[in-house]
């Protein structure tokens, strides 16, 4: 995933949120110990910690955005199929209006259609050109039964396809933006927790069992790498569908 922020914490966002929530509850129960230990710790410090936690927890997960993005991608594919079906009908009309005139057929995009039908952006450009040529041969097409609605329908399909592609692009941007915002919030939470954890090592140095609650999760390189790779592949695949 294209992000400028690097996670300061180990594991997934969801796991770190659960981990942090549990530790904050313990810190809240023992906060008088921290206040007595050092003036850095105040009721306001605890409030700030809890606010950071709430902020990070309220940013929707990647899974939510993946589902939204999948639906937007499906909409592009559906509209692309509709555009293809529309052109096939137009192609039939054009062949009747210009029998055996392959040079004119190619002006209407007969030789470009096979490539355009595979890609939303190419189909958008294809329909733009198609409308221009249809307007050029407006008299002949009108004589052969086309009405103003037929000409307008070309641009209607083009614009609806554009709207679907725009929605898909927005979904990808929103997902990346939310991931970055969540990472920033969790990094800030990590930094606040780290100060409490550092103090806890001194406060509870004689209680080894209790100190286990003040240790961050150890890194798991293989699992983290696989998760990151899967996220990257998902984003790359969705971006390719836009090209």
Given a contact cutoff of 8 angstroms between Cβ atoms, the answer to whether 183 and 7 are in contact is yes
Q: Which residue has the tokens 């490539």?
A: 115
| Local confidence band at 53 (pLDDT 50, 70, 90 cut-offs) | very high
Contacts of 89 (CB under 8 A, 6+ apart): none
Structure tokens of 81?
């199929």
pTM of model > 0.95: no
What is the percentage of the chain residues whose pLDDT exceeds 70? 89
Structure tokens of 146?
């086309």
DSSP string, 186-243: HHHHHHHHHHHHHHHHHHTTT-HHHHGGG-PPPP-HHHHHHHHHHHHHHHHHHHHHH-
Q: What is the overall mean pLDDT for the chain? A: 89
pLDDT of 191 strictly over 60: yes
Given a contact cutoff of 8 angstroms between Cβ atoms, the answer to whether 213 and 23 are in contact is yes
pLDDT value of residue 236: 41
User: Could you tell me the CA-to-CA distances from 193 to 116, 198, 205, 224, 240 in Å, in that order?
Assistant: 54, 9, 17, 22, 40
pLDDT of 230 strictly over 80: no
Domains of the chain by residue range: 13-64+177-242, 69-166
DSSP string, 138-196: HHHHHHTT--HHHHHHHHHHHHHHHHHHHHHHHHHHHHHHHHHHHHHHHHHHHHHHHHH
| Local confidence band at 193 (pLDDT 50, 70, 90 cut-offs) | very high
Find, among 61, 66, 82, the residue nearest to 13 by Cα.
Answer: 61
pLDDT value of residue 241: 47
pLDDT of 72 strictly over 50: yes
pLDDT of 240 strictly over 50: no
200-222 pLDDT, tens digit per residue, is 999 999 999 999 999 999 887 66
């Amino acid at each position: 995933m294209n992000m400028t922020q690097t996670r300061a914490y180990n594991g997934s966002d969801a796991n770190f949120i659960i981990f942090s929530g549990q530790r904050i509850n313990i810190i809240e129960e023992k906060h008088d110990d921290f206040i007595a230990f050092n003036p850095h710790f105040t009721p306001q410090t605890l409030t700030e910690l809890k606010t950071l936690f709430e902020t990070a927890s309220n940013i929707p997960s990647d899974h939510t955005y993946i589902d939204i993005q999948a639906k937007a991608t499906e909409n592009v594919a559906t509209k692309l199929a509709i555009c293809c079906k529309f052109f096939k009908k137009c192609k039939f009309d054009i062949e009747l209006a210009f029998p055996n005139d392959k040079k004119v057929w190619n002006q209407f995009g007969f030789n470009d259609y096979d490539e355009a039908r595979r890609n939303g952006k190419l189909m958008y450009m294809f329909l733009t050109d198609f409308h221009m040529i249809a307007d050029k041969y407006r008299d002949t097409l009108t004589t052969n039964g086309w009405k103003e609605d037929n000409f307008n329908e070309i641009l209607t399909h083009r614009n609806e396809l554009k709207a679907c592609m725009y929605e898909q692009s927005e979904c990808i941007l929103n997902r990346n933006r939310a991931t970055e915002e969540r990472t920033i919030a969790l990094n800030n939470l990590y930094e606040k927790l780290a100060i409490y954890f550092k103090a806890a090592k001194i406060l509870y140095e004689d209680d080894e069992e209790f100190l286990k609650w003040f240790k961050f999760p150890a890194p798991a390189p293989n699992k983290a790498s696989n998760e990151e790779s899967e996220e990257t592949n998902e984003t790359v695949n969705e971006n390719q569908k836009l090209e």
